[in-house]
Amino acid sequence: MMVMLIPVLLWSFLILLLLPLFLQWHHSKDKRFPPGSMGWPYIGETLKLYTENPNSFFSKRQKRFGNIFKTHILGCPCVMISSPEAARVVLVTRAHLFKPTYPTSKEKMIGPEALFFQQGAYHSRLKKLVQASFLPSAIRGSVSEIEQIVLAFLPTWKYATINTLQEMKRYAFDVAMISVFGENQHLEMEGIKHLYRCLEKGYNSMPLDLPGTPFHKAMKARKQLNETLRRLIEKRRESGKQEGGLLGVLLGAKDEKLNDSQIADNIIGVIFAAHDTTASVLTWVLKYLHDNQDLLEAVTSEQEGIRREIIEANRRLTWDDTRRMPLTSRVIQETLRIASILSFTFREAVEDVEFEGYFIPRGWKVLPLFRSIHHCADFFPQPEKFDPSRFEVPPRPNTYMPFGNGVHSCPGSELAKLEMLILLHHLTVTYRWKAMEDEDGIQYGPFPVPKRGLPIRVTPRPRNKLTH
């Protein structure tokens, strides 16, 4: 009797297993999916993406299939989008249908209640608070503080060979710390810095939570970081002084109070979002200025004009000075375009979506390809040429998105630009730098940066008549 039952049970099990797949196939068989190849079963086109340069992987498929195509990467069906109008639909006009999506390990490390991972009412409440602490009106008072950091860093580079990326990371990290915790740095800061450094070592590791693995060590640091932040939050709550920075704004949240873990996740989230990004862009700025000496001289002369006024008036660099740097600002804009350090972002369809005449099933990933749009000759003629003058006229709407677009766009864009301007002001008038590698090349870690992080030799600028 038992022997007869076994095949019946096996068939029932198989039917139960395959039924949902059949129903999904049946439901979608008449639908028009985007063109493209899903590659091999399960592995899809993952190997191709990892063995090719990611930019050529995308551009080859874009040429073959058009601005919307499907592929299959890391076990996920994906739709790639490289038309500005379609990207706007995903990020802005129908953003509620496409939620942000990150690997669970990243969510665990940063903290699930951080802004990036959220949608809806909680996201918009938090976004307003985070935006408020990075508005020009909120950060204009930080110019002196940021300048102090620059003036402490630059002399340590003099006559030294430095790794540009590593130095820029240290700089952007210090700026992130003051913008998060305010100007009155606490005793806890050194501990927080140390724990954050342990945490970030795990960001790009395999999510294997076993003793000794980088992921395990990172998660341990994350727990300790939570404890330290919780104590700091308690101290600030008890003192009744919220003090400055993002922490002050989050502690002062009016309508509905934020709890400690919501505050901690967002503090760590902002430090994460603020420093590797800005450091990678600054590394590219130094590379492009190095490779375009005429441009470097023009930027220097813009900065020298401002420096001269500052010295004559015996004052410090101000917010208003940073608004009078049009060429330097265009160099930053063009670097953001050409380097496109966030080549794309990830969203996931929250339901079946009819999109630009195609069907996108619920659960599929949707990736607006910022880099492809920034490198499209229709919007940016000779896209591979570094030419800041192209920004003398504003780009066509929705074609320039280095800080994203829509509900999840970057709240830190003004701070990022400000810290780049302040550093470039002092660097260009005082120093010169020479790249130590002859060969160009890119490394990913995870953002694209010049090979080996751009080692440079820094020397004082010849015939430098200005002092500060």
Which residues here bind ligand HEM, judged by CB under 6 A? 100, 115-116, 127, 130, 134, 179, 269-270, 273-274, 277-278, 281, 341-342, 345, 402-404, 408-412, 415-416
Nearer to ligand HEM, 307 or 415 (CB): 415
Q: Do residues 299 and 286 touch, judged by C-beta distance below 8 A?
A: no
Closest residue by Cα to residue 339 from 423, 227, 444: 444
Q: Do residues 351 and 64 touch, judged by C-beta distance below 8 A?
A: no
Nearer to ligand HEM, 114 or 154 (CB): 114
Nearer to ligand HEM, 39 or 404 (CB): 404
The span from the CA of 415 to the CA of 135, in Å, is 8
Identify the H or E element spanning 322: helix 319-322
Closest residue by Cα to residue 421 from 274, 310, 287, 317: 317
DSSP state of 258: P
- Burial (CB < 10 A; 0-12, 13-18, 19+), residue 358, is middle
Distance from the first to the final alpha carbon of the chain:
94
Structure tokens at 228: 């330290």
Per-residue b/e over 326-353, b at no fewer than 16 CB within 10 Å?
ebbbbbbbbbbbbbbbbbbbbbbbeebb
Q: Could you give the maximum distance between any two Cα atoms of the chain, in Å? A: 101
Structure tokens at 342: 């966030």
Question: Interhelix angle for 260-291 vs 120-134, to 10°?
Answer: 50
Nearer to ligand HEM, 114 or 456 (CB): 114
Q: In the bound complex, what is the minimum distance in angstroms from residue 88's beta carbon to ligand HEM? A: 12
